């Protein structure tokens, strides 16, 4: 495996350089914050046919407006300077500047208002139903590495009641139903087979994990500290940069905005679907099962994220974005591209097929010791179902107009 990838890496240097997306107002703000695509896209849509407005500038104001309202601390430095730059760069009249600002700010307020009334921002009092000492097989309890005493910290259980941007909230219970049945139980042959792999490849002590695979766990987490939340943020940045490298340089800023609206929405809506399954049928983590039944001193290679195991959030988010990218590329897979990771001191990796990279990203969560393979496969499939829907229906359902998720 290692040798094959090295050969692929060498061949990549002879392939023609990809004609990646051109620098634009859309990309500049996408780098400031991921998942602002919907604000940008709405600005282009609502500017259409309105000569009083500069669409590029409206999109910059729309992103600034969302971010300044939801992350006020960023406003003085990270947000205001780039906005002044966009205004200067646009060279428009004061009247056009003000009309563009008014449109962008209204879009930002609409998005911020919708998110303020979304149950995804409410406090959730979810806790496992019993203390760790009475843990039941297959069911989630706080893991030994979790922060705090008593251990009681979970990441964002409120997302399980959040509202999606585009994927119909009413379809989530149906989408989730097969996953809630959780066929994957302790003592079954499937569980034993997959757990054997985690024992051999996912621990701090892992006799069958290669050095390349150890790097894979870190590479595709893409975060510095190794927490679940940052890891998921890391992998979205990686998919975003892969998209920029592979999409054609003929894309206008408006086409770029349409793409990033789908990508960002797929990441977010996939989180809601994944969290719904995670918290409706909360499953134990490998560290809980393995320490109880297989090896009391086993520890995973990387930190176990503070939420139930099934399905994998990393893979749900990744699968949502990945499926949007694959659709945008016409379903083709044999592209050559190089990926960077935010994890320090890991060399860039070059792939010559999207499927190879996706498979490696999935395995990364087993090498990390955070998941069994089924959670990765099912997380990816769940995210993909959400991403595919969004790709075809971005203009149908609009954030803030859906009723709450039926719990």
Ligand X SMILES: *[C@@H]1O[C@H](CO)[C@@H](O)[C@H](O)[C@H]1NC(C)=O
Report the interface residues with ligand X, using CB under 6 A.
Answer: 31, 124, 126, 157-158, 160-161, 197, 200, 203-205, 207-208, 222, 237-238, 241, 279, 295, 297-299, 340, 342, 407
**272 and 35 in contact (C-beta within 8 Å)?**
no
Q: Which is nearer to ligand X, 252 or 295 (CB)?
A: 295
Q: Which is nearer to ligand X, 47 or 115 (CB)?
A: 115
Q: Which is nearer to ligand X, 31 or 293 (CB)?
A: 31
Name the packing angle between helices 94-116 and 80-90 (round to 10°). 140
Give 252-306 as a DSSP string: -HHHHHHHHHHHHHHHHHHHHHHHHHHHHS-B--HHHHHHHHT-TT--BSSPPPS
Question: Cβ of residue 278: shortest distance to ligand X, in angstroms?
Answer: 8
**407 and 157 in contact (C-beta within 8 Å)?**
no
Q: Which is nearer to ligand X, 70 or 124 (CB)?
A: 124
Give 362-386 as a DSSP string: HHHHHHTTS--HHHHHHHHHHHHHH
Question: Cβ of residue 287: shortest distance to ligand X, in angstroms?
Answer: 11
How much helix, strand and coil, in percent to the nearest 5, is found in the chain? Answer: 60, 0, 40
Nearest to 167 by CA among 38, 359, 34, 280: 38
Question: Cβ of residue 345: shortest distance to ligand X, in angstroms?
Answer: 14
Question: Cβ of residue 96: shortest distance to ligand X, in angstroms?
Answer: 29
Q: Which is nearer to ligand X, 42 or 260 (CB)?
A: 260
Question: Cβ of residue 177: shortest distance to ligand X, in angstroms?
Answer: 17
* Strand partners of residue 339: 349
Question: Cβ of residue 19: shortest distance to ligand X, in angstroms?
Answer: 16
Question: Which residues, other chains included, contact 162 with Cβ-Cβ below 8 Å and sequence gap of 6+?
Answer: 118, 119, 120, 121, 271, 272, 275, 405
Neighbours of 251 (CB within 10 A): 20
Q: Which is nearer to ligand X, 55 or 283 (CB)?
A: 283
Q: Say which residue the tokens 């990508």 belong to.
A: 263
Q: Say which residue the tokens 């991921």 belong to.
A: 34
Question: Cβ of residue 100: shortest distance to ligand X, in angstroms?
Answer: 26
Q: Which is nearer to ligand X, 71 or 295 (CB)?
A: 295
Nearest to 217 by CA among 346, 356, 88: 346
């Amino acid at each position: 495996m290692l040798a094959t990838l090295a050969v692929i890496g060498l061949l990549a240097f002879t392939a023609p350089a990809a004609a990646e997306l051109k620098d634009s107002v859309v990309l500049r703000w996408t780098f400031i914050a991921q998942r602002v695509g919907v604000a940008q896209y709405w600005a282009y849509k609502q500017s259409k046919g309105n000569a009083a407005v500069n669409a590029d500038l409206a999109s910059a104001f729309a992103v600034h407006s969302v971010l300044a309202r939801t992350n006020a601390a960023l406003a003085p430095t990270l947000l205001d300077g780039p906005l002044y730059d966009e205004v200067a760069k646009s060279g428009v009249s004061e009247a056009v500047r003000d009309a563009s600002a008014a449109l962008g700010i209204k879009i930002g307020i609409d998005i911020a208002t919708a998110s303020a009334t979304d149950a995804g921002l409410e406090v959730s009092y979810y806790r496992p139903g019993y203390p760790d000492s009475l843990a039941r097989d297959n069911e989630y309890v706080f893991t030994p590495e979790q922060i705090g005493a008593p251990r009681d910290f979970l990441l964002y259980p409120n997302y399980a009641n959040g509202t999606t941007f585009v994927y119909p909230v009413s379809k989530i219970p149906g989408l989730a139903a097969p996953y809630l049945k959780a066929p994957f139980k302790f003592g079954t042959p499937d569980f034993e087979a997959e757990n054997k792999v985690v024992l051999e490849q996912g621990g701090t002590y892992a006799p069958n994990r290669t050095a390349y695979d150890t790097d894979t766990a870190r590479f595709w987490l893409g975060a510095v500290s190794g927490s679940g939340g940052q890891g998921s943020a890391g992998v979205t940045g990686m998919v975003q940069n892969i998209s920029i490298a592979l999409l054609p340089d003929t894309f206008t800023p408006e086409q770029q905005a349409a793409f990033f609206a789908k990508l960002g929405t797929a990441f977010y809506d996939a989180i809601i679907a994944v969290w719904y399954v995670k918290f409706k049928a909360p499953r134990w983590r490998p560290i809980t099962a393995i320490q109880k039944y297989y090896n009391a001193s086993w520890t995973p290679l990387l930190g176990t994220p503070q939420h139930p195991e099934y399905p994998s959030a990393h893979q749900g988010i990744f699968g949502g974005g990945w499926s949007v990218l694959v659709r945008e590329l016409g379903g083709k897979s044999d592209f050559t591209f190089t990926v960077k990771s935010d994890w320090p001191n890991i060399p860039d990796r070059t792939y010559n097929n999207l499927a190879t990279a996706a498979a490696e990203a999935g395995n990364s969560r087993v090498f990390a010791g955070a998941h069994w393979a089924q959670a990765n496969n099912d997380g990816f499939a769940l995210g993909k179902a959400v991403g595919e829907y969004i790709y075809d229906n971005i203009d149908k359902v609009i954030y803030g107009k859906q009723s709450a998720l039926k719990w």
